[in-house]
């Protein structure tokens, strides 16, 4: 064996990459051994490949998947710093979201009642209400719920209440809401809309904000009090109610945020969950 050839076992120990992983990277073309024994198929690496192996291990430790690792290393070989920066910014954002989720879990495990689903909360009895069509400002995009919704709410509020002291751009007529247009839960590309009811004239020049009319009708509704991650319990209660009375949803759900998380404790947050109903009898 040439002096500069490293057996796969030794290379594994140097780079902290398992032999199973190294075989996979060979198949993907991510880290191909410099030589292979003709008779045994045994893989050999060179000292020059150690740096790439260590770099792969480091990127994996940072949380990148193999496709992202390949893209980052390819960009590095091309000297494309911009592409590398984009990948690192995305990984940072995902890491910060996960940190927030883990902090919330830790708080629940530390302080809440696990027999109540892990949340201190309350849910009112469902009611049916007639809601008129509503004129509203709207932002809509695809993204991750936990990241996109608070950011979009901030963007819409900043538009309505300019930070430079100018007059409000519109007169508010109701609480801000999140409208879910997906039929299933989507982790990364959810169809998210944030809307804010308004009255009167409004100037939309130079903004991504749209003005539209939210459809009215008869809605099943519950009021949930508690941290936002526990709002699924409100949906559970609504669907139980709808099943009991043979009701079916006729459109996207709405979450109305009735107070400000910057002003009240988590356990006092108020969220109204609404579902439009179809085939309902007239109100008595």
Model pLDDT, residue 2? 54
Query: Do both 164 and 213 map to the same domain?
Result: yes
Query: Do both 126 and 79 map to the same domain?
Result: no
Measured in degrees and rounded to the nearest 5, phi and psi for residue 61 equal -60, -35
CATH code for the domain of 76: 1.10.1660.10
What does pTM read for this prediction? 0.60
pLDDT tens for 45-81 read: 998 899 999 999 999 999 999 999 999 999 999 999 9
Query: Do both 79 and 152 map to the same domain?
Result: no
Q: Where are the alpha helices (H) located in the chain, listed in sequence order?
A: 8-15, 19-28, 50-61, 66-78, 81-111, 145-160, 232-244
Model pLDDT, residue 208? 78
Residue 93 domain-assigned (yes or no): no
Q: What is the domain range of residue 55?
A: 5-84
Beta bridge pairs of residue 123: 224
pLDDT tens for 176-235 read: 999 999 888 887 889 999 999 988 777 766 677 888 999 999 999 999 998 887 888 889
CA 93, 154, 107 angle in degrees (round to 5)?
55
Query: Residue 52 and residue 56: Cα distance in Å, rounded?
Result: 6
Answer yes or no: are the C-beta atoms of 224 and 121 closer than 8 Å.
yes
Mean of all residue pLDDT scores within the chain: 85
């Amino acid at each position: 064996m040439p002096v500069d050839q490293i057996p796969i076992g030794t290379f594994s120990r140097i780079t902290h990459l398992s032999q199973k992983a190294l075989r996979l990277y060979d198949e993907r073309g991510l880290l191909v051994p410099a030589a292979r024994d003709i008779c045994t198929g045994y893989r050999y690496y060179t000292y020059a490949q150690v740096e790439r192996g260590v770099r792969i291990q480091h990127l994996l430790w940072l949380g990148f998947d193999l496709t992202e690792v390949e893209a980052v290393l390819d960009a590095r070989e091309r000297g494309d710093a911009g592409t590398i920066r984009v990948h690192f910014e995305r990984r940072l954002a995902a890491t910060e979201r996960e940190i927030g989720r883990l902090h919330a879990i830790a708080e629940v495990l530390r302080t809440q009642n696990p027999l109540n689903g892990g949340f201190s909360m309350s849910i009112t009895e469902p009611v049916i209400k007639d809601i008129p069509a509503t004129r509203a400002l709207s932002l809509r995009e695809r993204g991750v719920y936990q990241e996109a919704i608070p950011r979009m709410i901030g963007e819409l509020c900043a538009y309505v209440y300019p930070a430079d002291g100018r007059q409000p751009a519109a007169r508010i007529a109701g609480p801000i809401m999140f409208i879910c247009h997906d039929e299933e839960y989507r982790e990364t590309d959810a169809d998210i809309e944030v809307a804010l009811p308004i009255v009167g004239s409004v100037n939309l020049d130079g903004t991504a904000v749209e003005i539209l009319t939210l459809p009215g009708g008869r809605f099943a509704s519950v009021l949930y009090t508690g941290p936002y991650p526990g709002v699924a319990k409100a949906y559970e209660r609504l669907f139980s109610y709808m099943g009991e009375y043979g009701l079916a949803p006729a459109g996207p759900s709405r979450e109305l945020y009735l107070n400000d998380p910057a002003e009240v404790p988590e356990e006092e947050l108020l969220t109204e969950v609404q579902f439009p109903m179809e085939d309902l009898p007239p109100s008595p």
